[in-house]
Homo-oligomer: A and B are copies of this chain.
Amino acid sequence: MFKIAVDAMGGDNAPQAVVAGIEQARDRLSDVEFMLFGQLDKVAPLIKNDERITLIQADEVIEMAEEPVKSVRRKKQSSLVLAANAVKAGEADALFSAGNTGALLAAGIFIVGRIKGIDRPALMTVMPAFAGPNDNFVMMDMGANAENRATHLYQYGVLGSFYATNILGYQAPRVGLLNNGTEADKGDQVHKAAHELLQYGADHQLLNFIGNVEARDILQGPADVVIADGFSGNATLKAIEGTALTLLKLMKDSIMSAGPLAKLGGALVKPALKTMQERLDYSKAGGAVVIGVKAPVVKAHGSSEAETIANTMVQIEAMLHADLVAKVESFVAEHAADLTVQSASDDEK
C-alpha cells in the first residue's frame, strides 16, 4: 500500500476539488492511501466516504501569492509543510499540492530533500507531441531555477530519461537540448558545455542524446525528453501556452464576427475543435513533477478540477509503482563520476 500526502488546502478550488479528486482516485487506485492535510472543519464535511483517507489538522494555509521560501520556513503548521514533513519522516511516500508552485518546490527541495548527486532539482512537465513516434514528451526545467549550469542540464537528461522510460514506457527515450539552433556549437557557453556533457553521457551509455532541438519544433515530437535551462524553458512553455490560448480565442472571434454562414460552420466544427483543445490541455496528462528529490513531489495546476487531480494521483501511483526515485538514486550513485564530469567549455563557478 502506497501513501500519498495531500495538501488539501492548495489550489483555486480547494478544498472541494481536492477532496472530490482524492475520492475519485481512491475509487480508481486500490493500492493507495491518502493523508489529507488541512483545516478539519472545512475538509471533513466534504468527504463522502473515508475509506483509505486520513485527515490531519493543519492550522495554516500558504496562499498562492505568498513568497515561496519564506512561507515554507515560517508556516510550519501549514497543510503543505505538514504534508512534506510526513514524507520526510517516512509516514508518506509522495507529496501532492495544487497550491503555490514555488512553495511546493521549496518544500520538495528543503524538506523532502535532494537526491544525493543531483545538484538542482527541476520542474518537469509532460507535453503533447503532435507528430513523431510517441504521443508525449517531457520537458524540464520549466522554471525551478532562474539560472542553470551545464552540469544541471546534463543531469536533467538522466532524470528525464528515467521518467520517460519508466512512466511513459518509451524505449531509449531521445534526449534533446533546447537551443537556438540545431548545430552542435550553438548557444551560449552554458548550452555549448551542456551539449558536450550530454554527448559524453551518450558516449558512456547513460542516455540517448540526439543533439539540439529548437522551440519551433518541439511540439512535433523530435525528442522524448527536452532539456532546457529554467529561464528559457519557462519562457518557451509560457509562449506555447499563450499562443495556444490566443489562437483558440482568435479563431472563435473570427468565426463569430464573420457572418451567419461562418457561424453555422463554427457550430459544425465545434466537436472537432473540442477534441483538439483537449489534446492541447496537457494538464490532463498529469501534473508538473519536482524531479530530483527523494520522493514523488507533484503539482497540479491551481485551477484543477477533481478529474485532473484524480489523474495526477494516477501519475503519482505510477511513479511509486515503478519505484522511480529508488531507481534514479541507485543509478546516480553508481555513475557518480560520470555525472559530475566537467566540460572543457564549462568555466563557470
A residues near B (Cβ < 8 Å) are: 130, 143, 146-147, 178, 180, 186-189, 191, 214-220, 228, 230-232, 234-236, 238-251, 254-255, 257-258, 261-262, 264-273, 275-276, 279-280
Q: Is the CB of A247 within 8 A of B250?
A: no
> Across the interface, do B238 and A214 meet the contact criterion of CB distance under 8 Å?
yes
Query: Known contacts A180-B234, A214-B238, A235-B180; is A250 also within 8 Å of B276 by CB?
Result: yes
Q: Which residue of B lies closest to A276 (CB)?
A: B254
Whole-angstrom distance between the alpha carbons of A75 and B268 in the complex? 57
- Nearest to A178 among chain B residues (CB) is B235
Q: For residue A178, which residues in chain B have a CB less than 8 angstroms away from its CB?
A: 235
Minimum distance in angstroms from A142 CB to a CB of chain B: 10
| Extra A-B contacts (8), CB below 8 Å, given A146-B180, A180-B230, A232-B235 | A146-B186, A250-B276, A262-B268, A264-B265, A265-B265, A265-B266, A265-B272, A268-B268
What's the minimum C-beta distance from A295 to chain B, rounded to whole angstroms?
Answer: 26
CB-CB under 8 A from A262, the residues of chain B are 268-269, 271-272
**Which B residue's beta carbon lies closest to that of A192?**
B146
Q: Which of B143, B186, B243, B276 contacts A243 (CB 8 A)?
A: B243
Bound complex: CA A53 to CA B57 (Å): 81
Choose from B220, B247, B267 the contact partner of A247 (Cβ within 8 Å). Answer: B247
Q: Are B231 and A188 in contact (CB under 8 A)?
A: yes
Q: How far is the CB of A245 from chain B (nearest CB, A)?
A: 8
Q: Would you call B273 and A254 a contact (CB within 8 A)? A: yes
Question: In the complex the two chains form, is A236's CB within 8 Å of B215's CB?
Answer: yes
